Structure 1
Amino acid sequence: MRKILIKNAKLVNEGVVKDGEVYIEDDLIKEVADIISVKSHDVKVIDAEGQFLLPGVIDDQVHFREPGLTHKEDIAFGSRAAVAGGITSFIEMPNTNPQTVTIELLEEKFDLAKESSVANYSFMFGGTNDNLEEIKKINPKNTPALKLFLGSSTGNMLVDDEKVLEEIFKNSPVLIAVHCEDEQTIKDNLAKYKKDFGDDIPMVYHPKIRSVEACYLSSSKAVKLAKKTGAKLHVFHVSTAKELSLFEGKKALKDKKITAEVCIHHLWFNDTDYEKKGTRIKWNPAVKTEKDQKALFKALLDNKLDVIATDHAPHTKEEKDQAYTKAPSGGPLVQHALPAMLEFYHKGQISLPKIVEKMCHNPAILFQIEKRGYIREGYKADLVLVDPNAPWTVQKDNILYKCGWSPFEKTTFKSRITHTFVNGKLVYKNFKVLDVKNGERLMFDR
């Protein structure tokens, strides 16, 4: 039996920060108390020396590119970078190659992760215009959600048949997670700027091409359809102030049928950063204005935005450094998401319990994940120790992404993740991933 005692920690959990200790046996948290006395001689003691102990972060939106696009990223690399960033569980997206649009292909991805993932894992099922019968076969106990692309996507994953869409909303056995950008609006905007600039459109026009109107038109339609059909809807990566009127902040998360999230890059960057960062911060939906950025942060604090995610979506440097129309959207984020949020804490913009609520507790509530997301007795021992006073700078030699770059390069963070535990095993310590493939398939309490 594996036994670990984490002593002298400041536990950040369920709305409070307090001194405490955590005792782990095998993969479970056995005891949480102010002081724990363990007499057994075979207990490994870790003295936190006053560091913060958080539940492991649950990232509900990553693209780890496996199968088919593994020159950019794969589950092994992605999960290693995730645990280095304090993310102990991830939910991955279906737009791989082949796309995850049958139950058989979904299970093949689970088999890949079982062999290679350091973190806990799950995969969303992908909806298309013609796979409704497969959608009906989804098992809610072992599959987190159905992902729909209501804006630009690869291949057959753009769901633009309104009759089919309504049938999917009526029949999905699980929560529906959506990417909302109106395709026709984007096409019209792109044609206008291509006429002016050709392929080399200045990046400053990206949020005008993938505009506020494109986002609002799509997300408002999705919300309207969810209300009409009674479907449970989660709107990914909200990027505009205008969209915030669609969401409620007063209800408890467990009572909401329509929820929304914000991503790290929409909180950290705004359109003034395009001049320096260029296509390295080209995302869909686009990073928009400082006004949008500030409104998103306020909505996060006011609980209109329920979850913080990464939308980790790596591409190679060579792919990103092409002209505007050829450079793909997306960037790597899992290693630096929690350190970035902790910078906002240091600036007094958000509390530690609120960060934990949005990155740990709420994803567990939203997807009804079994026994994760909290520091509680009987729960899985997914835990993260953070030293709030150990500055470090993001640079090439400490970036763990397969693509080898980060939009945060040369950024100095005040907080350092020192230890990450997945199912009771230490998998990361002080800049080193301890290649322990201890990830488990997430299960759902439905």
Structure 2
Amino acid sequence: MNRILIKNAKIVNEGSIFEGDVFIEDKYIKEIAEKISAKHSDVKIIDAEGSYLIPGAIDDQVHFREPGLTHKGSIETESRAAVAGGVTSFIDQPNTVPNAVTQELLADKYARAAEVSYANYGFMMGGTNDNLEEILKTDPKNVPGVKLFLGSSTGNMLVDNPETIEKIFSSTPMLIAVHCEDEATIKHNLEKYKEEYGDDIPVKFHPEIRSAESCYISSSKAVELAKKTGARLHVFHVSTAKELDLFTNKIPLEEKKITAEVCIHHLWFTDADYEKKGALIKWNPAVKSAADRDALWKALNDDRIDVIATDHAPHTLEEKKNPYTSSPSGGPLVQHSVVAMFEAYHQKKISIEKIVEKMAHNPAKLFKIDKRGFIREGYFADLVIVNPGLPWNVKKENILAKCGWSPFEGVNFKSRITHTFVNGQLVYSNWKVKDIKAGERLTFDR
């Protein structure tokens, strides 16, 4: 029997912080109290005095690159980076090779994760212009949702047939998550810059090519269609101030039919950073202006934006060095997302309670994940201890993503993850990931 007693922690849960102890037995949180004494001789005691105990982060948008793109990353390597960063559950996207657009291909990903994942896992079913029948076979209790690329990105899964999109919105009761950028606008902008620069367009023009307008055209159409059809819509990686009026904070999350997510990179970087970081911060949608970033922070804090995620999407440095038109968009972020948000807490941009709400509670609520995302008795013990006063520097030697680089390289973070528990197993401590692949399939209360 696995028994662990965490003592003297600042427990962050459901809008409050209180000092106390948490007792883990087997996979579950057995007891939460001000003081708990060890009742068994085999209890491992961890003193968390001065540190925060938070529910493990649930990252609702990652690309762990398996199958078919494992030179960039794999379920094993990227889930290892995740638990080192305090992410205990992830939802992976379908733009692998082959694309996860049939029940058989989706099942293959789940089978692989069962063998190798350090963190809990869910895999989105991919939508295409012609796989509605496959989408409708998806079991909502075992799969987080359906992913539609309404703008092209890595993997070429563009869904651009308006009739098909409306059929999917009308037919599936599942959550539909969308990547929103308008393809026609992007193509028009790209041709303009290619006429001047050829393929070697300076990356600083990325937010002009994949513009705020392209985001708004696409996301506003998706929201309009969701309202028309009653679909349950979740808009991934909102990146512009203009889009924020599409979302509301007037009703509780549980009652929202249309929700929004923001990613770490859109909260951290601005277009001024392209000069120094270049293609390392080339994402789709693009990192945009400081005004956009400020508006995203405001919407995150006033609850128009519901979730913080990473869109963790590793590429090799060699691929990133290609000319603009062949340099892929995306970067590794899952190891540094929680500490990046704690850095924002130190900068007084967000409270720790709000970080936990947006990175753990809300993804659990939004996807209706069974017994995860909260520190509650009877819930799975997916827990993270964060020391807010243990500075460290991101460098190549401590980056765990397979690609071996990070846009945060050289950053000094004030906070550090000291312990990560997945299903009650201590999978990360003393700056090392243990060889315990404790991840389990996420299930959904639907």
Aligned ranges for residues 287-436 of structure 1 at < 5 Å? 287-436=287-436
Amino acid at match of 1:371: K
CA distances 1:190-218 after superposition (whole Å, capped 9, x unpaired) = 00000011111111110000001100000
After superposing the two structures, state which structure 1 stretch, 320-329 or 290-299, moved more. 320-329
2:8 aligned partner, one-letter code: N
Q: Distance in 2 between matches of 1:366 and 1:114?
A: 24
Give the Å deviation of 1:41. 1.1
| Residues matched between the structures, number | 446
Q: Which amino acid aligns with 1:287?
A: V
The answer to whether the 8 Å contact 1:231/1:257 transfers is yes
What letter is aligned with 1:375? Answer: I
1:143 — aligned with what? 143
Match of 2:233 in 1: 233
Matching residue of 1:278: 278
Q: Which amino acid aligns with 1:417?
A: I
Distance 1:187 1:162 in 2: 18
Helix, strand or coil: the match of 1:389? coil
SS where residue 370 of structure 1 aligns? coil
Matched, 1:118 2:135: no
TM-score, reference length from structure 2: 0.99
Partner residue in 2 for 1:246: 246
| Counterpart Cα distance in 2 of 1:48 and 1:157 | 45
Query: Per-residue displacement from partner, 1:44-81 (whole Å, max 9, x unpaired)?
Result: 11111221000000000000000000000000000000
Give the distance between the partners of 1:78 and 1:117, measured in 2 at CA.
9
**Kept in 2: contact 1:389–1:415 (CA 8 A):** yes
Superposed CA deviations along residues 348-367 of structure 1, whole A, max 9, x for unmatched, are: 11100000000000000000
What is the Cα deviation at residue 153 of structure 1?
Answer: 3.3
Large movers: runs of 4+ above 3 Å: 153-156
Is 1:74 paired with 2:81? Answer: no
Matched, 1:49 2:49: yes
Corresponding residue of 1:32: 32
- Which sections of structure 2, spanning at least 5 residues, go unmatched? none
Which letter maps to 1:334? V
CA distance in 1, matches of 2:256, 2:238: 17
Residue 444 (structure 1) aligns with: 444
- Which piece of structure 1 moves more, 232-241 or 35-44? 35-44
What's the secondary structure of 1:325's corresponding residue?
Answer: helix
Q: Within 1, Cα distance between the matches of 2:192 and 2:434?
A: 51
Equivalence for 1:92: 92
Q: CA deviation at 1:39?
A: 2.2
Q: Which amino acid aligns with 2:399?
A: I
Deviations 1:84-130 (A, max 9, x none): 00000000000000100001110100000000000000100000000
Residue 327 of structure 2: SS of its match in structure 1?
coil
Write out per-residue CA displacement over residues 353-388 of structure 1, whole angstroms, 9 at most, x where no aligned residue: 000000000000000000000000000000000010
- The whole-number CA distance in structure 2 between the counterparts of 1:430 and 1:325 is 42
> Which ranges of structure 1 fall in alignment gaps of 5 or more residues?
none
Alpha-carbon contact 2:154-2:328 (below 8 Å) kept: no
Residue identity matched to 1:343: E
Decide whether the 8 Å contact of 1:57 with 1:373 is kept in 2: yes
Asked if structure 1 preserves the Cα contact closer than 8 Å seen for 2:26 and 2:424, the reply is yes
Amino acid across the alignment from 1:426: L
Q: Deviations over 1:157-197 (max 9, x none)?
A: 21111111100001113100000000010000000000011
Q: What is the letter of the counterpart of residue 209 of structure 2?
A: I
Contact persistence 2:149–2:180 (CA under 8 A): yes
Q: Deviations over 1:302-361 (max 9, x none)?
A: 100000000000000000011111100000000000110000101111100000000000
Asked if the contact 1:138–1:173 (Cα under 8 Å) also holds between the matched residues in 2, the reply is: no
Contact residue 149 and residue 179 of structure 1 kept, 8 A: yes
Q: Quick one: distance in 1 between partners of 2:156 and 2:271?
A: 31
Distance of 1:314 and 1:37 partners within structure 2 = 44
| Paired residue secondary structure (2:279) | helix
Q: CA RMSD in A?
A: 0.7
Shift of residue 428, structure 1, vs aligned partner: 0.4
